[in-house]
A and B are shown apart, each in its own frame.
Chain A
């Protein structure tokens, strides 16, 4: 039995969740198009299918809370408030990008949004999330750190070192595992002895739970609860959100290791149409309202593409800038 949406959030915020998910999807699909046109190069890891995790979790966090993530992080940055046009410009390698074109798809960062980076070494963000959380506590800030990562990261040494350390130092870190069941082409059962990832935290005395990562409301509720636990106790907490990426690991991966049947099953659980259906069934929005939201998102992403196309390249001298203070 699903919770009635209005018990969870007011209408306007419920609609905002839909808008953010649609914006993220639209952004990623246009990225794919721009990649095939050669405007975006390098690695491109798209988030399509996983939107409910970033959107539900971000909505449940405070604006001051730190978010840190891996390399599939466009949506997380945008949902946190990064302008799509500056993110798109970054992917185009333009000087107007969110990191001046020096980071690219995998290294988005905006300290004004407390978005503390996308990191492209699997598991590299774990220790950094601890340091951020320590700094917050040390400075007396009312801030927790939400650390996002995939199922592939849980067999890195840093995962285990950091879970142990976070509990030992009593750090306010919320670990959010986006379990999309595949580390590139290796299914979680083929890489993890205990594939039920959230159970692995018992060795570190960190409470954990599993949530349906295709349901934005379920994610919101779980993260809301978890974030308050972290804030009140100052201790770490762990959420495993089960989800699915509709595309390959990156644009260069056709994803042949997944069966069509599996893909179809997860497609039927697509967080966007399912949430849209709930919004209409519960009378929160009719199709017209949703159409308007979708049109607005499409226009924003189109504007982002235009902006990125028209933006200047970095100047040659910039290659030497920003190495040292």
Chain B
């Protein structure tokens, strides 16, 4: 184990997989010479050269389409979209091509590709650069979606994503890049896609979270513990496939659930998860499931009101207390 931040853990995952497999290539806007807007691709051009680490034009839809074609042609490409917000320009290639090629061609091809996208709010970047669009990708069959919370998971999940033979949307939270944690040094350390992780065991209420929401949920659980409330924090890690068995097992044990989502509340992943809990473990519930969500507004710039739009430790604490009191 060694301590490193989320950014360096991702960087190490890319380096290890590129060393391991010459069919792994990577590209995106400012990925090579500039070494990435968030420096996740630092050192790659120097180590792997211009044919494997490539800068692209600002053409997001084509970035994804080229990645689809390269995967179809036998490579294992990893593309970076500078932020998830720009993925909206590439939704044609993501939804109409990347997610469907295998199915509509009768299983005669597969796309071992990853599209990395930093995202999330909280940096006062305004309405167009602060979005949490994870639900958009979860909604579409044919995609895998990963969104790690810790440096170790970042490394292990990205390595699994690169080795996976399905197209993976790999989300990275911009506010987690500098967060630190212990990361296994073993180059074969992998975190499986589709498996949630109990980041903190507890007895009375399950907090289902992912990415930065997991970090906040752990802080909330710590505070609640001081008040005698025992929370289990379940970090989804992958949003598609959703680890429904892990969710149901935890809620079946605690009898209460709070789902924390950074995305907009309406049709958000919290609605999906709450529904699955209601459908499958209604009898073991001691209180209605509660959601803590991003507000249904375009993100404002001013930090005073931006804060209102994103779940905070305090709002999670309040939601857990409400669930414990059976309020709804």
Contacts and interface: CB of A to CB of B under 8 A. Distances in A.
Interface of A: 66, 97-103, 107, 109-111, 116-117, 119, 121, 124, 126-136, 138-139, 157-158, 161-162, 164-165, 168-169, 321-325
A324 B166 contact: yes
Contacts of B93: 124, 127
A116 B106 contact: no
Given A124-B96, A158-B65, A323-B141, A131 B107 contact: no
B59 A131 contact: no
Contact of A161 (B59, B69, B165): B59
Given A169-B54, A324-B166, A100 B59 contact: no
A127 B74 contact: no
B104 A102 contact: yes
Contact of A131 (B71, B110, B141): B71
Contacts of B61: 127, 157-158, 161
28 contacts: A66-B73, A97-B106, A99-B105, A99-B108, A102-B103, A102-B104, A102-B106, A126-B62, A128-B72, A131-B66, A131-B67, A131-B68, A131-B72, A133-B73, A134-B66, A135-B70, A135-B72, A136-B73, A138-B70, A139-B75, A157-B59, A157-B61, A165-B57, A165-B62, A169-B54, A321-B107, A324-B144, A325-B165
Contacts of A97: 106
A149 to B, nearest CB: 13
B112 to A, nearest CB: 8
B24 to A, nearest CB: 11
Interface of B: 25, 51, 54, 56-57, 59, 61-75, 77, 92-93, 96-97, 101-110, 141-142, 144, 164-166
A138 B144 CA distance: 26
A165 B75 CA distance: 18
B59 A164 contact: yes
Contacts of B66: 127-128, 130-131, 134, 165
B62 A324 contact: no
Contacts of A126: 62, 65
A103 B106 contact: yes
List of 3 A-B pairs having minimum Cβ-Cβ separation, nearest first:
A131-B69, A127-B65, A135-B73
A124 B57 contact: no
Given A322-B102, A325-B164, 18 more contacts: A103-B104, A109-B106, A109-B109, A110-B108, A121-B97, A126-B62, A127-B69, A128-B66, A128-B68, A130-B65, A131-B70, A131-B72, A134-B70, A134-B75, A135-B72, A138-B51, A139-B73, A323-B141
Contacts of B75: 134-135, 138-139
Given A102-B106, A128-B69, A323 B62 contact: no
B62 to A, nearest CB: 4
Contact of A139 (B67, B74, B144): B74
Nearest to B59: A161
Contacts of A99: 104-106, 108
B92 A121 contact: yes
Given A131-B67, A134-B73, A165-B57, A100 B107 contact: yes
Residue of B65, B103, B108 with highest tally of chain A CB at under 10 A: B65
